[in-house]
Amino acid sequence: MSRRAEQPQARQSRDQVLTWPNLISLIRLLGVPLFLYLFLVVRADVAALVVLAVGGTSDWVDGWIARRLRQVSHLGELLDPLADRLYILATLVAFTARDVVPWQFTAALLAREALLLGSLAVLRRHGYGPPPVHYVGKTATFLLLAAFPVLLLAAAVPAVAAVAGAVGWALAWWGLVLYWVAGAFYVIQSRQLVRAVRGRRGGPA
């Protein structure tokens, strides 16, 4: 097959909507309000733990399937980080409300999100979309999504509280540190793009 024939096929593949990875990401999004209901309303901690564990595991699964089946799409590139971010923010707010994590930890993570939103606003003003997801950011997200079910396990099951709490907080703090490192990378990348645009336009850097 020629390159000219491959290129339209590749574009069509990236424009797909009905794919298995996108379906998994959509289910993960629906899991966010389900978790909040189970954890904050009916206080069904074990069920909420299962939802968190499934949501965190499926973050890896949808990426693996997308690469395996060659179903990487533009929609998936938006849904996957959106689901990650909503899971992290919703879980932190819920955990803070029930004293599973201290408010200082939540504030530190929310401050990073505010920094990233500011960078995205600047990029959009100069005609750019969100920067590509950095592997450091993916690692941080993985650590945080792994930490939350373990922290909930420590809070819900006193028999394993000591071990689960130690493991959960180790994952959480490493995740928070890498989350900020990834945020710094995004800010630097955004600044470089803006400087390049202003340089082309002859404006101040």
Output the six-digit token pair for 188.
């630097």
Between helices 74-97 and 20-36, what is the axis angle to 10°?
Answer: 20
Let me know whether 84 and 176 are in one domain: no
Reported residue count of the chain is: 205
Q: Do 92 and 108 fall into the same domain? A: no
Domain boundary among 63, 98, 133: 98
Average pLDDT, the chain: 83
Decide if pLDDT at 54 tops 50. yes
Same domain, yes or no, for 64 and 122?
A: no
Q: Are residues 85 and 143 in the same domain?
A: no
Do both 104 and 205 map to the same domain? yes
Same domain, 55 and 92: yes
Q: How many CB atoms lie within 10 A of CB 112?
A: 19
Does 7 share its domain with 71? yes
Q: Quick one: average pLDDT of 103-110?
A: 95
- Among 150, 18, 163, which residue's Cα sits nearest to residue 95? 150
Distance CA 121, CA 127 (A): 10
Q: Which of 65, 98, 131 is the last residue of a domain?
A: 98
Do residue 189 and residue 153 come from a single domain?
yes
Whether 83 and 23 map to the same domain: the answer is yes
Q: Sign of the CA dihedral 67, 73, 78, 80?
A: negative
Same domain, 93 and 115: no
Which among 98, 118, 148 is the end of a domain? 98
Mean predicted confidence (pLDDT) in 91-95 = 94
In this structure, are 108 and 182 located in the same domain?
yes
Nearest to 80 by CA among 4, 140, 26, 145: 26
Taking 60 as the threshold, does the pLDDT of residue 202 lie above it? no
pLDDT number for residue 103: 94
**Cα gap 181→140, rounded to integer Å:** 9
Question: What pLDDT digit, counting tens, does each position of 145-159 carry?
Answer: 999 999 999 998 999
Domain total for the chain?
A: 2
The answer to whether residues 57 and 148 belong to one domain is no
Residue 8, pLDDT > 60, answer no
pLDDT at 5 over 60: no
15 or 27, greater pLDDT: 27
**pLDDT above 60 (res 9):** no
Q: Which domain holds residue 68?
A: 1-98
CA 195 to chain CA centroid, nearest Å: 27
- pTM higher than 0.85 for the full model? no
- Quote the pLDDT of residue 10: 47
Percent of the chain with pLDDT over 90: 44
